[in-house]
Amino acid sequence: MGCPDCNGTRSDIAGKASGVVLEIGFGSGYNLPFYKNVKKLYALEPSQEIYDLGKDRVASAALPVEYFKSSAEDIPLPDHSVDDVVSTWVLCSIPDAKKALKEIARILKPSGRFIFVEHGLTQNRFMAMIQRLITPVTSKFTGNCHLDRKIDDLIAESGFRFESLEKFPESGRPLMFSYRGVAVVRLPYSDDRPHGDHGDERAGALEEPELGRAA
């Protein structure tokens, strides 16, 4: 996934993020040039080797980047400390994707968003059958990449609701089916304002991020 902007996908996803942001599965930092309103970026990537491939990109980035060598299943950040979480083609390879999504819900502020593009199970029944058949084998030599995860269900079942969700086949790649959108944490308490009503809280976060502070 080292394409510069992947047909505008990276600029769309990273361009939506603002404030203090966590990117899971940061890889070699291909999204870095597309962050426009990000005050600070936490770059979470379990593979130091992959992260190091992007060292020059990090060094020349226009924003401060702090690296966590960690899995998204165990995010080393306090509860409700991050404005947005970004993920580009990562949920396919995390061993326990639901555990990671619950961690994302934990560290997001109530006004926070999970902004993602992922690939997963196709809506074409025949191709979905092929995806399910070959994934146990192909995942062994593609860094645990699963072709057959139903990404929207995983996100919804981990406590999120969608602000937007697009699902579409990738042209010319019948085994690749895209899920792209923005999800917010379903609030367990009465303050279930629509996401857009949290504008002041987000503006405050941009002025002076205070980690560990419950929003």
Ligand X SMILES: C[S@@+](CC[C@H](N)C(=O)[O-])C[C@H]1O[C@@H](n2cnc3c(N)ncnc32)[C@H](O)[C@@H]1O
Q: Which residues bind ligand X (CB under 6 A)?
A: 1, 24-25, 27, 30, 44-47, 50, 71-73, 88-90, 93-94
Kindly tell me which of 141 and 189 has the beta carbon lying closer to ligand X: 141
Kindly tell me which of 69 and 193 has the beta carbon lying closer to ligand X: 69
CB of 44 to ligand X, least distance (A): 6
Is residue 37 within 8 A of residue 109, CB to CB? The reply is no
CB of 70 to ligand X, least distance (A): 7
CB of 58 to ligand X, least distance (A): 13
Kindly tell me which of 74 and 192 has the beta carbon lying closer to ligand X: 74
CB of 108 to ligand X, least distance (A): 16
Kindly tell me which of 31 and 81 has the beta carbon lying closer to ligand X: 31
Contacts for 92-95: CB closer than 8 Å, 24+ residues apart: 92/118, 92/119, 92/120, 92/145, 92/146, 92/147, 92/149, 93/25, 93/142, 93/143, 93/144, 93/145, 93/146, 94/25, 94/144, 95/71, 95/144
> What is the DSSP code string of 133-165?
HHHHHHGGGTTT--S---HHHHHHTTTEEEEEE
